[in-house]
Amino acid sequence: MPNSSLTTGYAIEALACLARHGSHSMLVREIAEATEMPLPYLAKIFHRLSEAGIVETKRGYKGGVKLTRPPADITLLEIDAAVEGAKTGGNEPHAAEVPSRPNTFWQAFHKSYRDKLAAMTLAEVLAYDTSPSQG
């Protein structure tokens, strides 16, 4: 199965929170409070997202973080690569996901999973979060 890590999930949720706030900056502390995520962990995630160019950060008065592009221009694969890149070498599958034998079911499964992450944007996450509950 794919290892959609807790870190990637936190990053997607934090970025969705930021995107819902509009084009204004938010403090990481505010995002942590709104999403109920641990502040130190979230600060590390935002550092990685900043290094990847997904968010920009500003210190001091009127500081905080904000998206560098519209949510429709940020893929979930890009977010995953930003926060998991140090573990995975960027766009390569997570080490635990790489099967030792070629052409296995799991290789095909992981390729399909990564293709779905590449095709889905942060804007789609926002649309899903605001759609009426299917019930």
Confidence of residue 20 (pLDDT cuts 50, 70, 90): very high
Q: Which of 83, 46, 67 is nearest to 126 (CA)?
A: 67
**CATH number, domain with residue 67:** 1.10.10.10
Domain count, the chain: 1
Per-residue confidence band for 131, with pLDDT thresholds at 50, 70 and 90: low
Task: Classify residue 135: in a domain, yes or no.
Answer: no
pTM, rounded to two decimals? 0.79
Question: Could you tell me the residue range of the domain that residue 35 belongs to?
Answer: 6-130
For the segment 46-95, what is each residue's pLDDT rounded down to a tens digit? Answer: 999 999 999 999 988 878 999 999 999 999 999 999 998 755 444 444 44
Taking only the tens place, the pLDDT of each residue in 117-127 is 999 999 999 99
List, for residues 34-50, the tens digit of each pLDDT value.
999 999 999 999 999 99
Give the residues across from 67 on adjacent strands: 55
Average pLDDT over residues 96-116: 76
